[in-house]
Amino acid sequence: MPAQPSVLPPAHEPVPNKWIITLAVTVGTLMGAIDSSIVNVALPYIQSNLGVTIDQITWVSTGYLISLVIVMPLTAWLGGMFGRKRVYMSCLALFLISSFFCGQAHSLEELVVFRVLQGVGAGALQPTEQAILRETFPLEEQGMAMALYGVAVMIGPAIGPTLGGWITDNYTWRWIFYINLPIGIAGLMMVWQFVHDPPFLKNQPKPTIDYIGIGLLAVGLATLQTMLEQGERYDWFTSNFIVGATVLAAICLIAFVIWELRTDEPAVDLRLLKNIPFTSGTLIGGVLGVSLFGTMFLLPLFMQDLLGYTPMQSGLALMPRAVTMIVLMPITGYLYNRLGAKALIGSGLLISAYAGWMMSRFTLDIGYINLLIPQVIQGVGFSMIFVALSTVSLAAVPRTKLTNAAGIYNLVRQLGGSFGVAIMASLLVKHMTTAHAVLVANATPYNSSFHQWMMALQQRFMSMGADEHLAQTKALAVIEGMIQGQASVMAYEWVFGLSALMMLFSLPMVITLKNVRKSNSSGKPPVAVE
């Protein structure tokens, strides 16, 4: 007779507390999301402290985002190879260790290297949490699960600049990295204690290493992200560097798609994109990333450059949208089962488009309340879109493919944000130049309004003691400043209006999404219904 085990395994594993699991995995995701934007307001201080140029210091942000987007789609493969819990804990530990060394860095090279490693650690956290929450919560609570996930993913970038500005003003820039350590260690201990891999993940065979697919993906995404982050600084396609990066990214990513569709065991299962609801939800998520990150980039510039706000004041002025999303995401999660995905996403897109239209009416005389209202409205729309979109996009994906699907979904949203910042920054500069040229063309002596302003200003300077020539020069300088300000406002209005149109153009894709009924007592899988 074979020897019997001294301790018999339990008949069934204990059911873990879903709220403790949520708290455990949200800590790391929230820190990773915050660190994508918290460093931006501290870059001038870091530049001065390390004695580097503006061109060089931008790699502190670019290096983090490059490694982040490379790891995101590989999360499922890493989980299958090493175990999802082990990957999550290892990546969180890498994030924390890198955070410590970022704070210790005494040269730009050290800081960029550790920011890249920090991004590698953060890249696996978002897709892993999304998959874990999808499996932890029952079907009727999936909307609530995605609401909790959305609080971390959407709020992190929104509060990052404000938190970074406060820490930098009151301490030093190094503390924006040190602050991760105590919180992250607590999250790491909670994951070790309460999070466990599901049985199907433990029992499935180890995947093979797709060297070619991983290599093509890494090079393609790295060059694409570099092009998006550095394009404006190098004047886009007038630079051989940006042209080369674009060509290399296109070649590698096209080859990656072809290879992954042909190989039997791909590192990233692109066949999931045959699922129309998942693909539509992912594309809408990309549009959401464009609008969210694009407006988060433009609004502080508008407030600081044209309204005279300080970085801290502009960060605080962005808080109403973040607070609105924090409050409403759990509520929209609760409403998901009652209204359905199509109603929430469609309404959210319309509301967000209306907020964008309101921002396209901004002027130089705008008050704080006029800045607050469209942000609150936009927060309402974004919370409705994100919760329902995250839930319905992954609803029809098989359980064994959840992490893979979550990686693709988060990658597209992150790249959407990078495209949004790059496109809106470029269009802003272009339309500033165009609007300035149009306004200057009307600044002639034959224009009665211009003539009246010119004479009034000239007389004013002459009354202050200037001679006629000096008074005329000063009057022209004042009018040029007014023209520049109005041209800038017109450009911001145009770009904000574009973000509203993008939301409206996404509405037809809502038709392809499917609502999901609650689970039933028979334990059958969810049924997608029109």
Q: Which pLDDT belongs to residue 285?
A: 83
User: Helix (H, G, I), strand (E, B), or coil: what is residue 27?
Assistant: helix
Q: Which pLDDT belongs to residue 351?
A: 92
Nearest alpha carbon to residue 459 among 475, 439, 440:
475
> In tens digits, what is the pLDDT along the chain, a chain of 530 residues?
444 443 334 444 445 677 888 888 888 888 888 887 777 777 777 887 888 776 677 778 778 888 888 888 888 778 777 888 888 889 899 999 999 999 898 888 888 899 989 988 888 888 888 778 877 777 777 777 777 777 777 777 777 777 877 787 788 888 889 988 998 898 889 888 888 877 766 666 666 777 888 888 888 888 888 888 777 777 788 888 889 988 998 998 899 888 888 887 777 778 888 888 888 888 888 888 888 777 777 887 788 778 887 767 777 777 788 788 888 888 887 787 788 788 888 898 899 899 989 988 888 888 888 888 998 998 898 888 888 887 787 777 777 777 778 778 878 887 787 777 777 877 888 888 888 888 887 777 777 777 777 788 878 888 877 777 788 788 888 887 888 888 888 888 888 888 888 888 888 888 877 765 444 433 443 444 33
| Residue ranges with strand state E in 119-270 | none
What backbone torsions phi and psi does residue 62 show, to the nearest 5 degrees?
Answer: -65, -45
Q: Which pLDDT belongs to residue 94?
A: 92
- Thinking of the domain 16-208, which architecture would CATH place it in? Up-down Bundle (1.20)
Nearest alpha carbon to residue 224 among 255, 249, 251:
249
Cα distances (Å, whole numbers) of residue 194 to 200, 483, 490: 18, 61, 53
Q: What is the DSSP letter of 38?
A: T
**Cβ-Cβ contacts under 8 Å for 514 (sequence gap 6 or more):** 277, 341, 392, 395, 396, 528, 529, 530
User: Helix (H, G, I), strand (E, B), or coil: what is residue 268?
Assistant: coil
CA 439 to chain centre: 35
Element (H, E) at 515: strand 515-516
Q: Which pLDDT belongs to residue 313?
A: 75
User: Which amino acid, one-letter code, is at 245?
Assistant: A
Q: Tell whether pTM > 0.85.
A: no
CA 163 to chain centre: 17
Q: Is 266:210 a contact under the CB 8 Å cutoff?
A: yes
Q: What are the residue ranges spanned by the domains of the chain?
A: 16-208, 211-264, 435-488
State in Å, rounded, how far the first CA of the chain is from the last one. Answer: 58
Paired strand residues for 529? 515
Q: Which pLDDT belongs to residue 93?
A: 92
Q: Is 416:300 a contact under the CB 8 Å cutoff?
A: no
Spatial separation of the C-alpha atoms in residues 125 and 344, rounded to whole Å: 27
User: Helix (H, G, I), strand (E, B), or coil: what is residue 529?
Assistant: strand
